[in-house]
Amino acid sequence: MSDADRRDGSLFIVLEGGDGAGKTTQVALLSAWFDALGLAHVSTREPGGTPVGEAIRSIVLAGPEMDMPAESELMLILAARAAFIRDVVRPALEDGHLVLADRFSLSTMAYQGYGRGLDLDQVREAISIATGGLSPDLYLVLDLPAAEGEERQKHDGAEPDRIEAAGRSFRDAVREAYLELAASEPGVEVVSARGTPEDVHSRIKARLAARFPGTFPDRV
């Protein structure tokens, strides 16, 4: 998608971070804020967001008994992403809307590249096949020590999925990967995920206002 295909006002914002950092909570709070500001938007998640994406999600996030090579995991996630781009992201940006996503390609670099140990250049190349080179305007990484994310998830009482079951060292590697990616990739900012959901929400709003002053009010 070239910039010429995007209508004025379109924005693609992605929340990222380790499991249990609070992305889903923050997407809901941001979506309510965008509604209050009258900003047309689509809020969605990855893998998922389309019928094929949700079907793939149920395979990728099955229990640990669904054993698969890291390469299969990568290809499944990217198969979902290609549909997500075609059916959700591009149409919304072409209509001048805001897209707010819970995870995108930075997750693939952090989990399949750094976490699973796949070759980073190959992962990057595979991502660009799925996305056609489309990148978000901003990634906000919610940063939280892996143990605290795990603790937050325990309160939900759900059984760990395949990826969550990969263990503490995997979660630690993913957190470090995000920090490294934030230091080396353009358009990635880190926000502390500590504190109450409202504390984190205020930090995120302040970042968006600083980054996109024409879209978000500066008094937040």
Binding site for ligand T5A (CB under 6 A): 17, 19-25, 45-47, 61, 77, 102-103, 107-108, 111-112, 152-153, 155-156, 163-164, 195-197, 200
Give the Cα separation of 1 and 50 in Å (integer): 19
Nearer to ligand T5A, 46 or 143 (CB): 46
Least Å from the CB of residue 54 to ligand T5A: 12
Least Å from the CB of residue 208 to ligand T5A: 18
| Contact (Cβ atoms closer than 8 angstroms) between residue 121 and residue 170 | no
Nearer to ligand T5A, 117 or 195 (CB): 195
Encoded tokens for 184:
């080396």
Encoded tokens for 105:
């390609």
Helix/strand/coil for 102: strand
Give the Cα separation of 40 and 10 in Å (integer): 9
Sheet with 188-192, strands from edge to edge, namely 41-45, 98-102, 11-17, 138-143, 188-192
Nearer to ligand T5A, 152 or 211 (CB): 152
| Contact (Cβ atoms closer than 8 angstroms) between residue 162 and residue 64 | yes
Nearer to ligand T5A, 93 or 115 (CB): 115
Nearer to ligand T5A, 76 or 209 (CB): 76
